[in-house]
Amino acid sequence: MRIAMISTPFVPVPPKGYGGTELIVHELTEGLLDAGHQVELFSTGDSHTSGRLHHLYPVAQWPMDRLQDLNHVSWAMRLVQREGFDLVHIHSAEALACSRLLPDLPVVYTVHHVREALLSDYYKYFPEVHFVTISQDQRGRETPLFRGTTIHHGLSPGTYEWRDEPSDYVAFLGRFTEIKGLHTAIDATALAGVPIEVGGEIHSVDALYGEREVKPRLALPHVTYLGTVGIDRKVPLLRDARAVLFPIEWNEPFGLVLIEAMLSGSPPIAFPRGSVPELVEDGVTGFVVQDMGEMVELLKPGSRLDAFDRARCRERAVDRFSAEQMVREHEKYYRTATRFAASQPAVGAKELPSPPGTRSVAGRTAPSR
C-alpha cells in the first residue's frame, strides 16, 4: 500500500525533545515501512525517515502557528493529489479541510488532543473521514463520529532498557504546565523523603505558572533538574527510576510517558484522570492513586512499591503497547478505509454523506433547526 503520512510542521520526526505526536508519527511510519508498505513522510527538512521525505519548511516551525500548518498541509495535499497514493493519514485538524480536495482518496485522521468544543463541532463536517482516537476515554468524551476506531499508541520496545533493581530516585518527565502536576510530584517526594529527578521545560504559555510554582521547587535540595531530556538521557533515567510520577490534573487523552515508563520496567504512579485507568494495570504495570496523600504513602520506603515486579511490567507493556501492535491495528483500519472507498461511486456520481443535523432541501443539504 502506498501511504502518505502527513505530520505537523512544528516538530521534526522523530522529535529531538518534546513532541508526542511526532514520535508516534515516526514509530508508525517506520513500522509500516518494515511491514512492506511504501510510506512517504510529509514533515520538515530536519526530519529523518527510512522512506521518502517531503518538506516545505527546511526546519521545524516553533512556536506553533495555524497558518504555517495550513500552508504545510495544503502543499502536502497538492503533492499527494499529483503523485497518486492509496491512502493519506493526517495528524492535524487543518488537514481535514484540505482533504476535501481529494474526494476519492481514503483519509485517516488521528485525534491527538483533548476534547475542544470548537474542533468537535468542526469534525461533524467530515463524515467521509476515518477517525482514530487514541484511548477509549478520549473517544467517550468526543462528539459521536461517523467512522472511528480506537488505537492505543505504541513504541519500539528495543529503544527502552530495564533492570530488576532500581535506584533510589523517582522521576518526572513532561511539559511544565499546571495540568501535568509537577508541583504535586515535587511536594509528594518532599513529604515522602525521597529524591526526584525532573526532565522538561516551561513553555511561554506557562510562564506565570513556571515562575510561581516551578522555579522555587526546582531549587529544593531533593530535586535534580535535568532540563530538556532527549532519548539518550531518557532511557537510563527511566530504566533506573524507582517510579515515574504522573499526578495529572486534566483528562489526558494518552500519556506517552506512561508507556515509556512501563517499557522501562518502572511503575508510573498516576492519578485516575483521562486514559490513566485504561492504560495502567494497578499493581501490575503501575499504581493508580486517588490523591497526593496516597502517592506519598506509596513512595515511602517499605511500601508495596518496593516489591514491584519490574520484569512483569515490561512484559505486559510489550504485549499491549509495542509499535508492532500499533502498526497491525493501523493496517487493519487502513484496509477498512480502502474497502469503503472502493465501494463508493466515483466523484460526480455520488454525494458524500451529510454531517449530523442536516436535512435534504431541493436536492441539497441544509442544517437542521
- Per-residue model confidence as pLDDT tens digits over 249-291: 999 999 999 999 999 999 999 999 999 999 999 999 999 999 9
| Mean pLDDT along residues 289-296 | 98
- Same-domain status, 230 and 336: no
pLDDT (0 to 100) of residue 362: 41
Distance CA 266, CA 253 (A): 21
pLDDT in tens, 120-146: 999 999 999 999 999 999 999 998 998
pLDDT (0 to 100) of residue 290: 97
Taking the C-alpha atoms of 244, 241, 266 and 172 in order, what is their torsion angle to the nearest 10 degrees? 20
pLDDT (0 to 100) of residue 63: 87
- Same-domain status, 87 and 68: yes
pLDDT (0 to 100) of residue 132: 98
pLDDT class of 345 with cuts at 50, 70, 90: confident
pLDDT class of 101 with cuts at 50, 70, 90: confident
pLDDT in tens, 310-326: 999 999 999 999 999 99
Percent of residues, the chain, with pLDDT higher than 90: 86
Question: For residue 37, is pLDDT > 90?
Answer: yes
pLDDT in tens, 171-213: 999 999 999 999 999 999 999 999 999 999 998 899 999 999 9
- Same-domain status, 112 and 171: no
- Same-domain status, 311 and 276: yes
- Same-domain status, 229 and 127: no
- Same-domain status, 137 and 15: yes
| Mean pLDDT along residues 95-100 | 94
- Same-domain status, 296 and 258: yes
The DSSP output letter for 345 is P
Question: For residue 350, is pLDDT > 60?
Answer: no
- Same-domain status, 83 and 193: no
Question: For residue 365, is pLDDT > 90?
Answer: no
pLDDT in tens, 209-221: 999 999 999 999 9
Structurally, how many domains does the chain consist of? 2
| Domain termination site, one of 321, 343, 359 | 321
- Same-domain status, 25 and 129: yes
Pick from 259, 238, 255: nearest CA to 320: 259
Neighbours of 45 (CB within 10 A): 13
pLDDT (0 to 100) of residue 181: 97
Helices 256-263, 231-240: inter-axial angle, 10-degree rounding: 60
- Same-domain status, 88 and 217: no
293 burial (CB, 10 Å; 0-12 / 13-18 / 19+) is: exposed
Residue 178 · residue 249 · CB < 8 Å: yes
Of 67-76, 258-267, 357-366, minimum mean pLDDT range: 357-366
pLDDT (0 to 100) of residue 19: 79
- Same-domain status, 201 and 53: no
Pick from 89, 96, 120, 124: nearest CA to 329: 89
| Domain termination site, one of 321, 336, 352 | 321
| Mean pLDDT along residues 159-164 | 97
- Same-domain status, 144 and 15: yes
CATH of the domain at 209: 3.40.50.2000
pLDDT (0 to 100) of residue 361: 42
Pick from 289, 283, 280, 276: nearest CA to 304: 283
| Mean pLDDT along residues 327-339 | 97
Residues 6+ apart with CB under 8 A from 153: 24, 27, 134, 254, 256, 259, 321, 326
Containing domain of residue 23, as a range? 2-155+324-367
